[in-house]
Structure 1
Amino acid sequence: MNADDALKKIQDENITFVNLWFVDIFGELHRLGMPSYAIDKSSFENGLEKLDASSIVGFKSVNNSDMILKPDPNSFRVLPSDYDQGNRKNAIFFCDLYEGNTTQEVRYNRDSRGIAHKAAEKLKEFGLTHTNWGPEIEFFVFDTINVYPSPYGATQSSGGSGYSIESKESPWAKGNVSTAINLKEGYYPSQPKDTLETFRKDICDDLYNHFGIKIEAEHHEVATSGQCEINLVYDEMVAMADSVVAVKNIVKVKAKRKNKVATFMPKPIFGDNASAMHTHQSLWNDKVNVMFDPEDDVAQMSQIGRYYIGGILEHASALCAITNPTTNSYKRLVPGFEAPVNVCWGMGNRSAAIRVPMYYRNQEKSKRIEYRVPDPTANIYLLEAALLLAGLDGIKKKIDPGDPVEENVYKLSPEKKREYKIGSLPVSLKGALDSLQSDSAFLEEVFTKDFLDKYSQLKYKEYTAFAQTPTAWEVSMYADA
């Protein structure tokens, strides 16, 4: 779709407002709204000088803050009717960000979408045309989350804080015998225990009917209190990243409309499973899946596919700074909750960092890897770009991932892990950031040093604030020490 096509769409669909969407360096969605009559062909060709980048976290300083938003006409989508409570008909465009203080057209180096575009261009150097991506997006939908004394007070006050979670499905709620789900017993329940089936279906309908986003499946996940999963049908790199941003926003908006709260925080409930964003990926040269080798009697995985796995495993610790970017992420990456903590690969092995799904043997289109480490707090553009670059580095350097591990890695002794050369993922955000500091060369042709420095600086600051804040658990444990 070009600019003329997009303008015609706006007219044909009777759009009254256009929302321009972009994300900051952590993947947080931002928007600018404009009446449809204010958009013309120049808006697409020359962009819109509407952004004060100094007001966006991680972007620019106040003395160099002009930035241009350039809508991508291919990303035109009509928002669901209940999105705007004023009954206006809205559309969205995802935007690419360009420098404003220059006479040349220069893509902003901290534009996450631009980083994903740039990473995709690297495929040409390897004789590849595109990649396909299929994330499994997990999240919780609660009735309420109460933070005491307030969300601000919990991070800023010296007087202590706490929180409580309310859900009709929780085993601690009163009077919910028919809907109670115990810890770790929420996988595929039916109604009435699954109180969110209609909610998920409504979201899936909106995603397909308005965004053209195809859904593979939706279901309740393992945890209690409304853990949900929506699986997206595979798509190419940037298109899929746009879709994930849309999914997360629509989930939050729909939950708010129903007086509930949706959260993509990985581990909100102690003792229960956490939310992941398992990411399926495959490499293609036109219509040929280069990961597929029908002659391989182990995983039907080609040598290129194995090298790609090797690259991701080689850089797994550094990747965690991007794939698991919050302090809460590392409360998920612990044994016993179906989350990987071990750097290895296998087939059908959910205790490994990389799984090669074996549902469909002898089917080229389905051959892929599933990276099980990421969680939904990751910036999807950076996540895809970083995984791709790590995998391509594996192909370039012919990094052998070793043999697949089919044992339960959680139960292996330290001696066995050393024998199998199984490493461990970082146990904290600081550990992941430290790994990124020492292992970032594979990213630097796409992620500039400026970007990585700013990203790490803000994330180290986040970790330091967390590390210095007493928690209710610590007060309970140590107040009378």
Structure 2
Amino acid sequence: MKIEELKNIIEDNKLKWINLQLTDLLGIFRQVVISSKMFDEDAINLGIGKLDGSSVYGFKEIYESDLTLRPVLDTLRTNPFEINTADIITEVFDTFGTKRLETDPRYVAQKTIAYTSSFGYNSLTAAELEFYIFDEIRSWLRPLFSGFEIKSGSAGYDEKTNHSLTIKGGYYVPPPFDESIKIRSEISDLLQDFYKITIESHHHEVGGAGQGEINMQALDPVSTSDNIQRIKYVSRFVAHKYGKIITFMPKPISDDAGNGMHVHVSLWNNGKNAFYDINDDYAGISQEARYFIGGLLSHGKALSAIVSPTVNSYKRLLPHYEAPIFLTWSKGNRSAAVRIPSYHKNYERRKRVEYRPPDPSCNPYLAISAIILAGIDGIVKKIDPGDPIDENIYKMAESKLRELKIERLPSSLDKALDELLNDNEFLRPAFSQSLIELYIELKRKEIEKINRTISPAEFYYYANI
């Protein structure tokens, strides 16, 4: 987009305010609102000095906190919720605005694209974004009184029971059982009409208490990550309009399905899908795809710290909830960490690798980048993924798991961070060492803070011990 086009958009839409939006190291979406009168040529070329980096997770210390936001013009979109306002995604520049901030997550994704291109590949990525829509969430965290309460008429977790669904009984249900279809449809319409994000589908997911899923068109890693952040942003507005609360928390209900964010990746070279091989009898995938899978499995434990980045993430990664806990691969097998979707065999455009451990609490720029870098490392080092496992791994005996040398994902964030500390060389083309160390430090503090808190479950099980 040229500056003249931008000025015309501002005038034609009578824009008074511009939301400058960015994502911090932990994946939190942030914004500052500026007058459209400030949106001149200097603001576009030099950036806008409006960011205190010391107040943003993972950016700067208090003694070096002045950062600059440079708007990405092609991301300008009129805001459907605020009159005379537009949203634009920004890139974060270091003090004096002369170079990119190393811990800007969008910069990590851009470096991942450049690194992938150095091998002759263009990457296409997409994500399945899962969430719950509740009537109400209440939580308390006080020294003598802590707990939480969820209300959902959809699953009967309320005084008002509508068309109740059972635990794990919501997959693909139609209205009137699917009470959130209007909300998902409105979210999807706004994303397409205002934000130019192509939504391929949405549906009610497994969780009975109003769990949904939105699927997007595959794009490059930066655009996919931008879109994930905007989907969350729009979803919260729409849910609020209906008096509901939407949560992307990985495991909000102990006995129901968790929220995943399965990431799909394919690599392309001169218009050809590098993962496709028509002569492969198993799943129509190439040797390059197998090596890519080998990289994912080899680095899967370290990846967990980035793609499953909260304490709550590991309450999702349990057997029998279609959440993977085993580092193996297969076609169509949802108990494996890596799945080759097998709806069609000889369909080059749709041939891809699906990595299932991620959840929507992750920073998408970091998570998608880390997945691609792990896969590229597998291609470079020709890492053999081993034989696929075409059976329900949840039901395997421990003796067979040992015999097949099937490893598990880490069982906690603390263990995942240990793995990342010992295995991060594959990330270096896009993640600086200082970023990795800072990320681990922030997550260790998060664990410490949560571990100090006494949970309701502890009182339930231990008060009378």
Q: Quickly name the TM-score band, shorter chain normalised.
A: over 0.9
- 1:254-308 CA deviation, whole Å, 9 max, x = no partner? 1112221111001111111110001111001231111111111111111111111
Aligned mate of 1:173, from 158, 164, 167 = 158
**Would you say 1:163 and 2:156 are equivalent positions?**
no
Give 1:175 deviation, angstroms.
4.0
SS in 1 for 2:425: coil
- Aligned twin of 2:423: 439
- Aligned twin of 2:113: 120
- Aligned twin of 1:300: 284
RMSD: 1.2
- 1:152-192 CA deviation, whole Å, 9 max, x = no partner? xx1xx32131111001112332341x411110101111222
- Aligned twin of 1:151: none
- Aligned twin of 1:419: 403
- Aligned twin of 2:127: 135
AA in 2 matched with 1:319: L
- Aligned twin of 1:282: 266
- Aligned twin of 1:217: 201
SS in 2 for 1:191: coil
C-alpha separation in 1, matches of 2:389 and 2:39: 55
**Would you say 1:72 and 2:72 are equivalent positions?**
yes
AA in 2 matched with 1:116: A
Contact kept in structure 1, 2:71 and 2:90, CA below 8 Å? yes
- Aligned twin of 2:63: 63
Runs of 4+ in 1 over 4 A off after TM superposition: none
Which consecutive residues of structure 2, in runs of 5 or more, have no partner in the other structure?
Answer: none
Aligned mate of 1:409, from 384, 387, 393 = 393
C-alpha separation in 2, matches of 1:384 and 1:44: 28
- 1:298-332 CA deviation, whole Å, 9 max, x = no partner? 11111111111110110001001110000000000
Contact kept in structure 2, 1:49 and 1:100, CA below 8 Å? no
Contact kept in structure 2, 1:2 and 1:74, CA below 8 Å? no
- Aligned twin of 2:138: 146
- 1:375-394 CA deviation, whole Å, 9 max, x = no partner? 00000000111011101110
Contact kept in structure 2, 1:134 and 1:233, CA below 8 Å? yes
- Aligned twin of 1:30: 30
Match runs of 1:166-205 below 5 Å: 166-176=151-161, 178-205=162-189
SS in 2 for 1:113: helix
C-alpha separation in 1, matches of 2:172 and 2:105: 35
- 1:127-151 CA deviation, whole Å, 9 max, x = no partner? 21x2111100000111111113xxx
Give 1:47 deviation, angstroms.
0.7
C-alpha separation in 2, matches of 1:242 and 1:445: 21
Contact kept in structure 2, 1:344 and 1:405, CA below 8 Å? yes
SS in 2 for 1:126: coil
Aligned mate of 1:352, from 336, 339, 343 = 336
C-alpha separation in 2, matches of 1:408 and 1:313: 18
Match runs of 1:366-385 below 5 Å: 366-385=350-369
Q: How many residues align?
A: 465
C-alpha separation in 2, matches of 1:3 and 1:371: 40
- Aligned twin of 2:16: 16
**Would you say 1:90 and 2:85 are equivalent positions?**
yes
C-alpha separation in 1, matches of 2:455 and 2:133: 24
Contact kept in structure 2, 1:4 and 1:41, CA below 8 Å? no
- Aligned twin of 2:242: 258
> Please, what TM-score do these two structures have when normalized by structure 2?
0.98
Contact kept in structure 2, 1:109 and 1:451, CA below 8 Å? yes
- Aligned twin of 1:454: 438
C-alpha separation in 2, matches of 1:27 and 1:461: 16
C-alpha separation in 2, matches of 1:467 and 1:51: 32
C-alpha separation in 2, matches of 1:116 and 1:165: 36
- Aligned twin of 2:53: 53
SS in 1 for 2:261: coil
C-alpha separation in 2, matches of 1:90 and 1:286: 40
SS in 1 for 2:49: strand
Contact kept in structure 1, 2:49 and 2:66, CA below 8 Å? yes
C-alpha separation in 1, matches of 2:237 and 2:416: 32
C-alpha separation in 1, matches of 2:348 and 2:203: 27
C-alpha separation in 1, matches of 2:336 and 2:204: 23
C-alpha separation in 1, matches of 2:158 and 2:13: 46
- Aligned twin of 1:109: 102
Aligned mate of 2:294, from 310, 314, 319 = 310
